[in-house]
Amino acid sequence: MFLGSVIYDKRRSLNLTQNDLANGVCNQNTISKMEKHSMTPQIDVLIKICQRLDLSLNDVFSDFSSDTKNEQVFVLDSIEEDVLLNELDEVNEKLSLIKNNVDAKDNVQYDFIKGALEFQKGNLEVSSFNLDKVLQGTKSDNTNIYTLISYLIKGMIYQKQDHADIADYYCNLIAQSLKENLNIANASGVEMLYLCNSLGQLYLNLKQYSNAESISKRGIEYANENHLSYFIDELSYLVALSNKQDQGNKKEFEKYKDISYYTAELLNNKKLQNKLQKD
C-alpha cells in the first residue's frame, strides 16, 4: 500500500509547503492527493519527490504489499532505458533509491545496468566484471536478452582494447541467436533496437560492412513493424556509412543519409545532424 503519510510527515519535518515540494515536479493538487492516500503518482514523479525528501521507495510503500516490488521493477526498467539511450543525468539518483532493495530475481537486470553504465563511463574492467555476473545469472542462455546485450558490450570492450578476434567471436554468438528473427521473448523494443544499433556500429568498427548494413536494416524493419523510433536515425546512418565505406551503391548511401538526417532532425539528435553535415 502507498504510504502518503510518510511524504506528509517528511515534508512537514523539512518545513516545506505542498507547493514547495511540487515545484518543478508536479502540481500542488498531486501532492495533496498523494498525502491523502487517494492516488499513487507516476513513477518518474515519485522518484523526484523521493529524491527531494531523501526517501527511498521502500519508505513510501508498506512492507505488507507487493507494490514496493512492482515500483522497483518500474524504476529498474526506467534506469535501464536511460542507460541504453545514454541519458545519464539522473541514473545515479534513481539507483540510490533501490540499491539496497533489489530482489534476487532482478539481480541480472541490476548487474547489467551497472555493467552498461560503467561501459558508458569508460570503466571497461569494472563493466566486464558486472557483465560476467550477468552471464552467470542467465547461464549464458542465448534466448535471454541480457545474455545477448552483455555479449554485445563485452564485444565492444574487446574492440576498444584492440582484440578484434574476440570482439568478432561475440558478434558471431549474437548473430547466430538472431539468425531466424529478432524475436527475443524477454526483450523490450528499446533493448532490441539498442542491440541492432550497437552491433551495427561494432561491425562497422571491425570493417565488416555487409554485416553492419544487414543488422542495421533489420533494426529499421523491426522499428517500423513495432512503431518505434529508438535509434532509427542512427541505424539509417549506419546503413549509409556501410555503403560509403564499402564503396557500395551510391544511391543507397544518399538515400539513407537523407533518411538519417531528417529523422535525426525529428528526434532532435543534434550530434548526429552535425556529423551528417560533415559527410
pLDDT of residue 117: 94
Burial 237-250 (b: 16+ CB within 10 A, else e): bbbbbbbbebebee
pLDDT surpasses 60 at 208: yes
Higher pLDDT, 166 or 11: 166
pLDDT surpasses 70 at 69: no
> Phi-psi bin for 94: left (phi > 0), alpha (psi -120 to 50), beta?
alpha
Q: What percent of the chain has pLDDT over 70?
A: 92
Interatomic CA distance for residues 59 and 51, integer angstroms: 12
Burial 24-46 (b: 16+ CB within 10 A, else e): ebbeeebbebbbeeeebbebebb
Interatomic CA distance for residues 150 and 172, integer angstroms: 13
First to last CA, the chain: 55
Q: Which three cell numbers stand for residue 65?
A: 504489499
Q: Which fold has domain 188-279?
A: 1.25.40
pLDDT in tens, 100-129: 777 777 899 999 999 999 999 999 999 999
pLDDT of residue 119: 96
**DSSP labels, 95-163:** HHHHTT---GGGHHHHHHHHHHHHHHHT-HHHHHHHHHHHHHHHTT-TTSHHHHHHHHHHHHHHHHTT-
Enumerate the domain spans of the chain.
119-182, 188-279
pLDDT of residue 48: 84
pLDDT surpasses 60 at 144: yes
Cell numbers 539498442 correspond to: 194
Interatomic CA distance for residues 56 and 49, integer angstroms: 10
| 93-99 average pLDDT score | 76
pLDDT surpasses 50 at 68: no
Strand, helix or coil for residue 2? strand
pLDDT surpasses 70 at 159: yes
pLDDT of residue 65: 43
- The residues, ordered by sequence, that sit 6+ positions from 24 with a Cβ below 8 Å of its Cβ are none
- Which of the residue ranges 138-147, 150-159, 242-251 would you say has the lowest mean pLDDT? 242-251
Higher pLDDT, 96 or 172: 172
Confidence of residue 252 (pLDDT cuts 50, 70, 90): confident
| 178-185 average pLDDT score | 87
Cα of 86 vs its chain's centroid, Å: 7
Average of per-residue pLDDT values in the chain? 87
Alpha-carbon torsion angle 163, 187, 87, 31, nearest 10: -160
- Which of the residue ranges 160-169, 171-180, 211-220, 263-272 would you say has the lowest mean pLDDT? 263-272
| 44-59 average pLDDT score | 82
Confidence of residue 71 (pLDDT cuts 50, 70, 90): low
CB 176 within 8 A of CB 140: no
